[in-house]
A and B are shown apart, each in its own frame.
Chain A
Amino acid sequence: MSKLYSGAEIVFKCLEDQNVEFIFGYPGGAVLPIYDELKNFNSVKHILVRHEQGAGHAAEGYARSSGKPGVLLVTSGPGATNAVTALTDAYMDSVPLVCISGQVPTHLIGTDAFQECDTTGITRPCTKHNWLVKDVKDLEKTIHKAFEVATTGRPGPVLVDIPKDVQFQKTNYTKFKKQKSLNGKVNSQFTQKDIDELIKLMSKASKPIFYTGGGVINSGPKASELLRELVNTTGFPITSTLQGLGSYPGEDSQFLGMLGMHGSYEANNAMHDCDLMINIGARFDDRITGKIDEFSPKSKKVHIDIDPSSINKNVKVDLPIVGDVTEVITSTIKTIKKVKPNFAKSNKQQISKWWQQIQKWRSINSFDFVNSTETIKPQYAVQRLYELTKNKDTYITTEVGQHQMWAAQHYKFDKPNRWMTSGGLGTMGYGLPAAVGVQVAHPNKLVIDIAGEASVLMTMQEMSTAVQYSLPIKIFILNNEYMGMVRQWQELLHDKNYSESYTAALPDFVKLAEAYGCVGIRAETPGELDDKIIEMINTDRPVIFDCRVDKQENCFPMIPSGKPHNQMLLGPKDQKENKITGKGKTLV
């Protein structure tokens, strides 16, 4: 008879077979049997966080920067509910996570037992799928299925809830063989006809644009390489969503910068005026489209996405292509080479006027700001940070708010998987734990969380995790003492009634750093900024960098409420300032 394994052992056998190296977690009553087995499985290293939300975001950072699924382990009740924000965040941004949660023993389920909650009920809307395992015989199958669901098709979070008695029960374990056949939820439905149609549209277009998103990154590093080839072959301009940054080099001349609410003037105007929009792995989010009735009125729209439900959800498209980005671009390039080997040359004339127009928009220089010699402008801080770290293959995470947009505008990415930010859910407190996860995946790389002082305080406790595991993450706080984006909206839309957006009592971040056992650095003038940033980079320990920036600075350009893409609000240098009034105030 073969050896019998307990449920807790099976959890680790499965993790081993899935090549999981790190799990992020926090122990508690209902997962103690699993924690007890940790010592017997050396290939799986556990990172002890300080809050389950931190475990979730760390797993997200790990997943996004490595391309592998992130795994977290939490206890029942509060352990599971604390993880909900991170699961929802991963669901919105399509990050593969496997959350293993403990549950009260099966005979206590439904009795309002201590630390009991309906975990599968609570997490049903924020996971791709979840399971309550009531019989140890189902455990192995379920965990492997969980990894499959999380990582195939459009990636996302899953949860496996394991009652404590199931963790003790024993059964057989059969070595896992990765199967080729997938769960039927994977969709590469496109045909050569679709590709031919796409190329027909491309050769006819005189004002084309590529609009690319996180799907390119999720499709793997190969997709980014192919995208570069496709963009070069066609000579078309390209813009990217917040999540897609890095899939195309940020400093390339064909790149128009990020689009959307705080995107560049040229990207948004090009989106509005184009006659062919090729969406690759983006989802027509409301921060991108602005007023939907006036979104890119004259264009033919092509949408390449692995998730069929993304097609025609917000914007009706003319040519949907359902499939993995890598596969679709591969076919497209192959067909172009076969049918139109001189595509770029024959096309150059046709789109030359379009490029002239784009250069005109570009000359507005919409990310520009009025610099100062007395106070540090936040944009300047990000620019300096970029200049001083760009040759180091740096990984950047962010929190949510003005600093996030400035980071997206002024930090240029050259490679995929280097940029981790909470776009869909907009979770303040994402960046610090995400940086922990990134550093775990890349121990020898420079990992920086560009943060705001309000966001970072939401998950500040994870500094303690960074210190425990000697993870030299850098927390670069653009400290303006305000919830900056809230303040900006109050200034523009609520007659400068700064209701509760000022934090009147903030910790001394340098002392806070010291209290955690890491290094605190403060910069207060533009003159000392460079030296302090270099000091931070050269510190081989976790750093909290308190960068005191201008308190009044606003994030521009901006598409104001209820306006289409071609009516952007530019910065203080803009003469034709238009104000937002009336109904526009109700925007979210």
Chain B
Amino acid sequence: MDASQITSFVASTHQVFTTMLSLTVTAGKPYTCCTVPKFENEVSGIIGMSGDMQGMVVLSFPTATARNVIRSFTGMDMEPTSPDFADAVGELVNMISGAAKAKFEGKNVSISCPSVVIGKGHKVQQPSDAVCITIPFECAGGPFSVEVAIKNAKVAAKAA
């Protein structure tokens, strides 16, 4: 994973939040996922990438941020136990991943349908063979993060 790919996720997150939620986001300095996270994950949207780039993207929030963000997205206040809450989180990570992969020039990449995990203090185990980078964000709704663990499949295949 190179710096331009991290930049793609920063840009796509900004694009999704500005366009669909009317929320401005500020990205912090990215850090490796093995660093102690800046908040406890309580709501995570997960999407897989396959093709020329392989790995996983995780959009994570504390519950309070997730509720604020989903309210901005849907116009409704939802309980995290509602299926519609998980659906909205899934659609957010879908749009962020889709917009980011469109910026991977010359790469043929597919994304999976999203999954959503809700629960205090959970950890999403990223693939061990890809460098995992956490991009911290702040918005008016609170802090959140985008974790990216992807590798170039062609480079990996050549090395094998």
A and B interact: no
